[in-house]
Amino acid sequence: MIMTLKKYSLKRYRKYILPLILLLVVTEGAAIACGATFGKLETGLLNGLSFLGYMFPPDWSAFAEMVQPAFQSIVIAFLGTVFGTLLSVVFALLAAANISNPWVRNVTRFLIGLERSIPEIIILLLLIAAFGLGAMPGIIALALGCIGMLGKLLADTIEELDPVMMESMQSVGANKMQIIVFGVLPQIMPNLISYTLFRFEINIRLSVILGAVGAGGVGYELDYSFGMLQYHRAFTALLVIIIMIFGTERLSYMLRGRIKMEGALK
């Protein structure tokens, strides 16, 4: 019995209890500062469930009208991912310490970090002021958003490459461009494809949000339906968005799995 009490003594878990208490205190303080309470959470959930009742059943007649906007959102995400990936490769090469000089690397790393600090929706609002409403600012915003994520991941991948490979290519007279084309890009290609597919999933979701702001697509249809109090039509738009996102995720998952399988076979 004494051994059992010693085994479960509080002294043994004191290093976990104190941080947990501190976390609870900080969390409670943050909740008070934000005005977040369990009472408001309960009220909000009940109101949300009540509001969902107004959206049933979906307006199936509007389903056909949602196909074209959904396709537009997919195209916006696709083009933004393609152009963003191409830009990210350039930024990654400039940000890799084993490819570029320190001054260029530091400046490029700063630009990549700066882009990550600015949400895509802010970029879109600035682009709308320049280009107006439509798909163009949405595509540019998503392409720029790729740089912050893919640029950093690819730059880190390039810096982790085996330096012996680059030194051996230099020893036989290869220049910097030949090292990049024949040495660096083939080695990072599996990571590049995997990261790009993952970013495409993110851009599909972002295209819906940006569409509600002014980029068009199914996000605009959702925002318009809510604004016009057409809740049944809005629920149809939500179903289309769920199908679109789920289908894209499954396709991306299967492609990434095939890439990993081919890489393992090699």
The DSSP annotation for 164-217 comes to HHHHHHHHTT--HHHHIIIIIHHHHHHHHHHHHHHHHHHHHHHHHHHIIIII-S
Percentage of the chain with pLDDT > 90? 17
Total residues belonging to the chain: 266
Structural domains in the chain, CATH included, are 69-265 (1.10.3720.10)
Percentages (nearest 5) of helix, strand, coil residues in the chain:
85, 0, 15
| CA–CA dist 158, 61 (Å, integer) | 51
Structure tokens at 25: 């205190």
Percentage of the chain with pLDDT > 70? 92
Predicted local confidence at residue 13, as pLDDT: 66
Structure tokens at 210: 């940006």
Averaged pLDDT of the chain: 84
For residue 140, the SS3 value is helix
**pTM for this model (two decimals):** 0.81
Predicted local confidence at residue 2, as pLDDT: 46
> At residue 98, what are phi and psi to the nearest 5 degrees?
-90, 5
| CA–CA dist 115, 109 (Å, integer) | 10
Could you tell me if residue 59 is left (phi over 0), alpha (psi between -120 and 50 degrees) or otherwise beta?
Answer: beta
Q: Which pLDDT tens digit goes with each residue over 142-186?
A: 999 899 899 999 999 998 888 888 778 888 877 888 888 888 888
Q: Residue 6: what residue type? A: K
> Does pLDDT of 128 surpass 50?
yes
Give the CA dihedral 122, 127, 128, 134, nearest 10 degrees. -110
Could you tell me if residue 132 is left (phi over 0), alpha (psi between -120 and 50 degrees) or otherwise beta?
Answer: left
CA angle, 52 then 53 then 54, to 5°: 90
Q: Which pLDDT tens digit goes with each residue over 181-207?
A: 888 888 888 889 888 988 998 899 888
